[in-house]
Amino acid sequence: MSYDPTATQRLTPEEIGRLDYRLGVGIMLLNPRKEVFVAQRRDMKTEAWQMPQGGIDKGEDPLDTAFREMEEEIGTAKAEVLAESEGWVHYDLPADLIPKLWKGRYRGQKQKWYAMAFRGDDSDINLETKDPEFSQWQWVEHRRLPELIVPFKRGLYQKVLAEFSGLF
């Protein structure tokens, strides 16, 4: 099945059901005050914020992916792993986004999550990376995460918060 990401195609539930999940990681980065790093995507028209995340390259270890993604997205990987999600957590894309993302090959993402302690200074964070994804960033109280994320990822964020609740 091949999709034109610029087309406004409508997929049937049966077509969506045949698509796989893209494997990825997510990072809940905590500062010493137990606040969580979030950044606003450059490509979103709404004011949606998210924690760093990204896809796992073929043959790549998920933890290596997490450190690579931090470096690529926020310019630093000065962090120490505090916890790893027991399993994989997933989210489904809204049907209208599937043809526009990842060449229409995936219905959403299945992610391994890591809670990490930030070991740098705020000045180490640099969003002007090689391929910038974010326009601004902030540290927020963990309880605010579900209200800041796009609605289709809200359930995933609630699961991640529940799993890492002992860290706050």
The C-alpha atoms of residue 70 and residue 24 are separated, in whole angstroms, by 13
HEC assignment per residue over 82-137 = EEECCCCEEEECCCCCHHHCHHHCEEEEEEEEEEEEECCCHHHCCCCCCCCCEEEE
Comparing 39 with 12, the larger pLDDT belongs to 39
Q: Which residues contact 120 (CB under 8 A, 6 or more apart)?
A: 76, 78, 79
**Would you call 139 exposed, middle or buried from its count of C-beta atoms within 10 A (0-12, 13-18, 19+)?**
middle
Contact status, residue 151 vs residue 91, Cβ threshold 8 Å: no
The pLDDT of residue 163 is: 97
Comparing 44 with 6, the larger pLDDT belongs to 44
Q: In the CATH scheme, what architecture does the domain 13-167 have? A: Alpha-Beta Complex (3.90)
The pLDDT of residue 136 is: 94
- Mean pLDDT across the chain: 90
38-52, 66-80, 105-119: least confidently modelled range: 38-52
Share of the chain above pLDDT 90, in %: 73
Q: Is-above-0.85 flag for pTM?
A: yes
Mean pLDDT of the region 34-44: 91
Predicted confidence band of residue 48 (pLDDT cuts 50, 70, 90):
confident
Domain limits, the chain: 13-167
